[in-house]
Each structure stands twice: as structure tokens, then as C-alpha cells.
Chain A
Amino acid sequence: MSTMAFLKRSPWILHYDASSCNGCDIEVLACLTPLYDVERFGIINTGNPKHADILLITGGINTQNREVVRNLYEQMPEPKVVVAIGACAATGGIFRECYNITGGVDRVIPVDVYVPGCAARPEQIIDGVVTALGILEEKRAKMAGAARMKDEVRHAEQAGEST
């Protein structure tokens, strides 16, 4: 079993409200509380981007929020997955035509999973996170593969020097 096996099932989540109406945000919190209660699987809403594996982001991102979102994304360690929740996070939604809405999270940071809905239901959000887990595992495997290749090259070089 890999040392990172816990990542497969119990990711830590960072939630940020990037100019949404609050509807999706309270649904994200509803996922964590009784009835849906994903905390029982060890999925924890952390406030610290440096501890997070999955970024749940809602809203269409206004001008002032762009830097904050980028900053949060960059602080998260690899591998990381971004889940855009709700219609606003996908395209700007009903706020698309507002003068200071960027329109979609993917214009600021790369997005892996889109969760539809206005507001997105907790079931959909959980489904989105489960999809994100698969992508997280893929990214992790890729990183591990790249690291192994680097190691092999280094070993080969060392072996070449010693002979």
C-alpha cells in the first residue's frame, strides 16, 4: 500500500466563496453537517490552503477576488484538484452580464470538475468531490511516476560514474 493511499478516500477540502450568492456555499457546508455528513469519511473542511487537496470554489469571481483565488490556488500543494460549484462558477451564470464579474473560475485558475446547478444540491457537490478524487489519484500517480523516472535516471548516472 502506498504511503499516500489515504488521499484516495479522505481528501481535505478548502472552500472559498469567490463572489457567489451564498447559496452554493451553504450547500457546501450542508454536505459536512448531519444528513449528508461527509466528515465521517474523513473529508474535512480545512481553513488552511496548505493542508488542502481539493479546492471547492463557488461564484463568478469579481475583479477584487481574482488575486485571492490565484493566491489560494498557488498555496495548495500538488497534487490538487479544483471543483467549480454552481452555474456562476462554470460560466458566470445569472451574474454573467455584471460589469465586474470575470465569468467562470476557469478564466483565473484551471478547473477539473464542474458541478452544475443554481444552487448546486449537496448530492451533486458530493458527486463532484467523488469525481475529483479520481482525478486526484490520477495526478498523484503521474507525479509518482515522474519522480520514479527521475530517480532511475539519477541512479543510472551514478552507476555510470562509479564504473
Chain B
Amino acid sequence: MPERIIVPFGPQHPVLPEPIHVDLVLEDELVVEAIPSIGYIHRGLEQLVQKREFTEYVYVAERICGICSFMHAVGYCQGIEHIMGIEVPDRAKYLRTIWSECSRLHSHLLWLGLFADSMGFENLFMRSWQLRESVLDVLEDTTGGRVIQGTCKVGGVRRDIGQEKLDEMLRALDPFEEQCRDLGDVFLNDETVKYRLQGLGVIGKDEAYALGAVGPTARASGVPSDIRETGYAAYGDLGFKPVVETAGDCYARCAVRVKEVYASIDLIRRTIDGMPEGPLDVKVKGTPDGEYFSRVEQPRGEVIHYLRGDGTKHLARARIRTPTLANIPMLVKMLPGAQLADVPVVVLSIDPCISCTER
């Protein structure tokens, strides 16, 4: 029997933009066990609800994670709105959908780039990030912020997108989609990429379900769960079908995200087409009293904001279950059996967002 050695992976590692520590137990080059330890980004944001008023906490919710910041704000606001019985105007819902999908686009393109980087495909990394900049330009144009938007508030949204800008976005979508399809073509059909990814880190449907996986990680194993199907914001009006793959390997997880990029472009197009007129927000009176589980589909999967108010300006409790936390058990199952050189690819295939995980 070969000797077992333990290789520490992280917290500071070239492939990881964020710190996570994994102890890899190796037999020669083969991983037999992976023991993750987290806590490098824990800030204690849930406790901050006691220090910030419930309307101000939106800013904190946005900063749970800088990549899916807008979705965190939407999740939090929807929770508060549900507790207080606030009916958000339609236009605000549609605008939230547009910004959510823009965030998803930029997050997926960011991930595709990092994933290409983990395979050593630098050219593809740069190309993905180049495309991502055009999404960030739209976000900056419409909200004022590149990564932290700050436009979602309890009761609606803060800014409108004018008809002129909407038309411009619609026109820009066609060439953008073409570029995305060129990029996706490399990820889906390139022989070297396929050779590297297929059959790596396989998790079957039942196992993925049992491990509680969410988002693209679950959908790549054939679990058709997507919270957008519940029809929050404008998704109910738009009609939505989740992207599902069945292979359950790294290639499938990559394919789901590539296809979700196309789906997001399509969703934005239909949202702009169906954009209703009307006010942007309603006035918020009183304080939240009650509790609610608010669920939103982020780029990485389902995020749950549990909020409980006790009739004061400060919430009594907030609990945020983020998608990466739900996907870490999958990762622990995926790593055994992989070569040491494949570890970065497998780790990135769940799209880890450590800031979310640890809050």
C-alpha cells in the first residue's frame, strides 16, 4: 500500500481568488480524502442586523458577496416585503430581473474565465473576462456601480432604466450573444477541454440530491431544481425552463453554465420586451413583524434568507444559507479519486464563493 501524505491546499493559493483551506490526503498522486476548513472570510454579518435598521441592512446584504451582490439584495428585500405585506410595482420587478440576469451573466463569465485558468487555458480566461467587461459596462451605465449596485431597496428599486437605454441594450444583445456563442463553442466542443473535463468528479443524480446540492452543480447531475421556476420577480411572467445536464462531471457543470449564459441573454431580451410602465417603488411604513424564508436563485444556486422581525426597527434574526455552503459536501465527495493536478479544476467546478459561504 502506498504511503499516505497530506498536502495543504490554500488558504493562499494561486488558483483561488479567495481563501479556503483543504487538506488533501494523497496516496501517490491520487486524492483519497479531502478535509475542508473554512472561516477565513467569516465576518459575522448575520449579527449585524441588530446594529443596522432593516432598511439599511440592504447595503450589508449586498456586501455578503461582491459577485452576486444584487441577488442578495433582492433576496433580502423580498423577505422584508413579504413580512410587511408590501406589493412591489411591476416595473420594479422587471428591473430587478434585468439586473439579476446581468449579474448572472457577469458571474458566469467570470467563472468560465477562472475555470479556464484552472485548466491552464489562459487565452480563454482572458477572452471570458473581456466579454464580462461589456456586461459590467451595462451595469455601471444603469446602476452606477460595477460590482456593487445598490439599486435594490425595500419596496422597489432606486433607479429606472430609460427607454432609450433599454433599446440600446436590446441592440447590443445580438452581437454580445454571438460572441458568447463563440466562447461557449470552445468550452463545449474543444477536444482538449473535453479531454480534461469529461469523467472528472462524477456525482450521480441521487447522490447529488441526497447531498443537498443546489444550482448549476445540482442541475449538472440531473436534478432539475431552479428557484426561478417559483416565479419571483418577473420570472413568473416570463416562463422559465431550467438548464439540465445528466452526466454529473466537470464538463456537465461547465456546460450548464455556458447554456445558462445563453438563457440569461434570452431572459433579458424578453424582460425588456415586456417591460411595463409604472412607478418604481412604494412607500414603506411601519416595521417588520413576522418571519419568512426568502429564496432566490443566484448564479451558484439557491440562497435562502431567513428573516424574523419583532416589530422594531432592527430585525431579531437573520440567517443566510448560501449556495456554496450547500455545495461543499458535493466537493468533498468529488475530490477522492481525482489526480492532484485535477484538484483546482474540481474545486472550481462547484463555483466556490467563499465570501457567501462564511458571511
Contact = CB atoms under 8 A, between A and B. Distances in A.
Contacts of A121: 146
A21 B19 contact: no
A94 interface: yes
Contacts of A149: none
Nearest to A99: B44
B65 A119 contact: no
Contacts of A20: 41, 66, 355
B263 interface: no
A100 interface: yes
B186 to A, nearest CB: 16
Interface string A28-39: 011001110000
Q: Which bucket holds chain A's interface residue count?
A: 35 or more
A101 interface: yes
Which of A22, A62, A68 lies at the interface centre, i.e. has the most chain B CB atoms within 10 A of its CB? Answer: A22
B42 A33 contact: no
Interface string B28-57: 000000000001111111011001000000
B139 interface: no
Which of A15, A23, A34 lies at the interface centre, i.e. has the most chain B CB atoms within 10 A of its CB? Answer: A23
B51 A119 contact: no
A119 B148 contact: yes
Given A94-B63, A118-B148, A119-B146, A62 B41 contact: yes
Contacts of B146: 27, 119, 121
B355 A21 contact: yes
Name B's interface SS. Answer: loop
Which of B40, B47, B59 lies at the interface centre, i.e. has the most chain A CB atoms within 10 A of its CB? Answer: B40
A137 interface: no
B40 A47 contact: no
A64 B39 contact: yes
Given A19-B41, A94-B59, A99-B44, A29 B17 contact: yes
Given A22-B66, A94-B59, A98-B44, A17 B19 contact: yes
A94 B69 CA distance: 14
A161 interface: no
A92 to B, nearest CB: 10
B315 to A, nearest CB: 15
Contacts of A157: none
B233 interface: no
Contacts of A98: 43-45, 47-48
A34 B13 CA distance: 23
Contacts of B145: 119
A22 B133 CA distance: 17
Contacts of B15: 47
Contacts of B85: none
B148 A23 contact: yes
Contacts of A118: 63, 148
A109 interface: no
A127 to B, nearest CB: 16
A31 B17 CA distance: 14
A162 to B, nearest CB: 51
Interface in A1-54: 15-27, 29-30, 33-35, 46-49
B65 A22 contact: yes
B328 interface: no
Nearest to A36: B133
Which of A16, A17, A25, A65 lies at the interface centre, i.e. has the most chain B CB atoms within 10 A of its CB? Answer: A17
B129 A33 contact: yes
B252 interface: no
Given A17-B19, A20-B355, A30 B133 contact: yes
A16 B12 contact: yes
A64 B18 contact: no
Nearest to A69: B12
Given A22-B65, A27-B146, 5 more contacts: A21-B65, A21-B66, A65-B11, A65-B19, A98-B45
19 contacts: A17-B19, A17-B41, A19-B41, A25-B17, A26-B17, A26-B66, A26-B67, A27-B147, A29-B17, A33-B130, A47-B13, A62-B41, A64-B39, A65-B19, A65-B41, A68-B11, A94-B59, A95-B43, A98-B43
